[in-house]
Structure 1
Amino acid sequence: MKNTAIEIAPNSALLVIDVQKGFDDAAFWGPRNNPAAEANIAALMDAWHAADRPVVLVQHASARPGSVLAPDHGGYAFKDFVEERRQESLLITKTVNSAFYGTPDLAEWLGARGIGQLVVAGIQTNMCVETTARMAGNLGYEVLLPLDATHTFDLSGPEGVSLTADQLATATAVNLQGGGFAHVVTTAQLLDASGSRDAAQ
């Protein structure tokens, strides 16, 4: 990954997507990658709050029967480290992959504040994180995606083809940056650019 200079806008918004307790259910999801994701997300939230930049929490309310992310399931709640850092963050609730199809309207909220730069982190890398980043890029936002502040799970597709979580994360990085949707960065790069010296693990 190229070590290019990153400039963080004073009103750059951090989107923390679906960091919910249900994703800790290994029996439901299978093997995951990047055990450092939560620590990196926490470091970004701390840096954004310290700089008085906006933080948006996105929460997935699954309509699928038996989902661990259903509103009536304990897994719907944010992980403790996110809840502890909630502060005055905007809460977006959604039922689909993109945070731009949620309540309240994310694009409207960003537009009212003149926000043009988004940092997108959370779960899952190749699902709601990637979908939100793609849509943000299409809508004209400058998108920074710290890949190491996301994680996903192994997944099987058509005709029995399976990819590991790491392979899926790599594909997301290539799709987003190669396709011009986002600039893929590291948490450490963002912390340096934001003025925070709290090194991410």
Structure 2
Amino acid sequence: MTENAIEIAADSALLVIDVQKGFDDTSFWGKRDNPDAEGNIAALMDAWQEAGRPVVLVRHASLRPGSVLAPDHPGHAFKDLVEDRRGQEALLVTKTVNSAFYGTPDLDGWLRASGIGQLVVTGVQTNMCVETTARMAGNLGYEVLVPLDATHTFDLAGPGGLSLTAAELAAATAVNLQGGGFARIVTTAELLAAGAPA
């Protein structure tokens, strides 16, 4: 085994963050990247469930009026790829902010009580809830793996007329997380290969 080989713990938890129908509304969000994200998330969910590893679903319940992720909006629902795999998840966390660690029930408490030290973080949006959750997980001492190709985000405008494309934001997330020591950036294929039986 090489020094940089990926090792998947037997109890490695897969976090599937905010894979909700509201993110399909391009009139609300704008242009997105990585059309393969959903397929990669589904493949990871299947692999984790088949291996008996825990899957944690996270759902955003927006408090902003008019949000497509508000609990009373159809967009609050999970996308079909998640809904079709429901029933086997170890935990469902509902949050109103970017970090899954500020949700209900308490994610950190559940992970520690379960003896879980490794997290694989997937979902939407790459530079928002995925990155925030991965950063906090790293700060809390978890080993964090982020398959960037199992996430996606949207173009975003910032201050002073500055705007970045979704692809640019995803690249920045990769640099922030791995360069900053919060997480290791990997691919879905690498995780599937590492998690396959010997």
State the Cα distance separating 1:12 from its structure 2 match.
Answer: 0.1
State the Cα distance separating 1:16 from its structure 2 match.
Answer: 0.1
State the Cα distance separating 1:86 from its structure 2 match.
Answer: 1.5
Give the aligned partner of residue 147 of structure 2. 146
- Matched positions, count: 194
Give the aligned partner of residue 19 of structure 1. 19
Give the Cα–Cα distance (whole angstroms) in 2 for the partners of residues 11 and 177 of structure 1. 23
Give the aligned partner of residue 199 of structure 1. none
State the Cα distance separating 1:105 from its structure 2 match.
Answer: 0.3
Q: Structure 1-normalised TM-score?
A: 0.95
State the Cα distance separating 1:87 from its structure 2 match.
Answer: 2.2
Which structure 2 residues correspond to residues 120-199 of structure 1 after superposition, within 5 A? 120-195=121-196
Any runs of at least 4 consecutive aligned residues in structure 1 with deviations exceeding 2 A, and if so which?
A: none
**What amino acid sits opposite 2:42 in the alignment?**
A
Identity over aligned pairs, percent: 78
Give the Cα–Cα distance (whole angstroms) in 2 for the partners of residues 160 and 120 of structure 1. 31
**What amino acid sits opposite 1:30 in the alignment?**
G
Give the aligned partner of residue 10 of structure 1. 10
Give the aligned partner of residue 116 of structure 2. 115
Give the aligned partner of residue 75 of structure 1. 75
Give the aligned partner of residue 39 of structure 2. 39
* Residues 49, 88 of structure 2: 8 Å contact kept: no
Give the Cα–Cα distance (whole angstroms) in 2 for the partners of residues 39 and 126 of structure 1. 19
Give the aligned partner of residue 58 of structure 1. 58
Give the Cα–Cα distance (whole angstroms) in 1 for the partners of residues 11 and 177 of structure 2. 23
Give the Cα–Cα distance (whole angstroms) in 2 for the partners of residues 86 and 179 of structure 1. 34
Give the Cα–Cα distance (whole angstroms) in 2 for the partners of residues 189 and 153 of structure 1. 25
**What amino acid sits opposite 1:14 in the alignment?**
L
Write out per-residue CA displacement over residues 108-150 of structure 1, whole angstroms, 9 at most, x where no aligned residue: 1001110000000000000000000000000000000000000
Give the Cα–Cα distance (whole angstroms) in 2 for the partners of residues 114 and 66 of structure 1. 39
Give the Cα–Cα distance (whole angstroms) in 2 for the partners of residues 88 and 15 of structure 1. 13
Write out per-residue CA displacement over residues 156-199 of structure 1, whole angstroms, 9 at most, x where no aligned residue: 00001000000000000000000000000000000000107xxx
Give the aligned partner of residue 100 of structure 2. 99
3-state SS in 1 of match to 2:146: strand
**What amino acid sits opposite 1:13 in the alignment?**
A
Give the Cα–Cα distance (whole angstroms) in 2 for the partners of residues 187 and 5 of structure 1. 14
**What amino acid sits opposite 1:191 in the alignment?**
L
* Residues 37, 152 of structure 2: 8 Å contact kept: yes
**What amino acid sits opposite 1:167 in the alignment?**
E
Give the Cα–Cα distance (whole angstroms) in 2 for the partners of residues 23 and 132 of structure 1. 18
Q: Structure 2-normalised TM-score?
A: 0.97
**What amino acid sits opposite 2:167 in the alignment?**
D
* Residues 21, 77 of structure 2: 8 Å contact kept: yes
Give the Cα–Cα distance (whole angstroms) in 2 for the partners of residues 5 and 27 of structure 1. 41
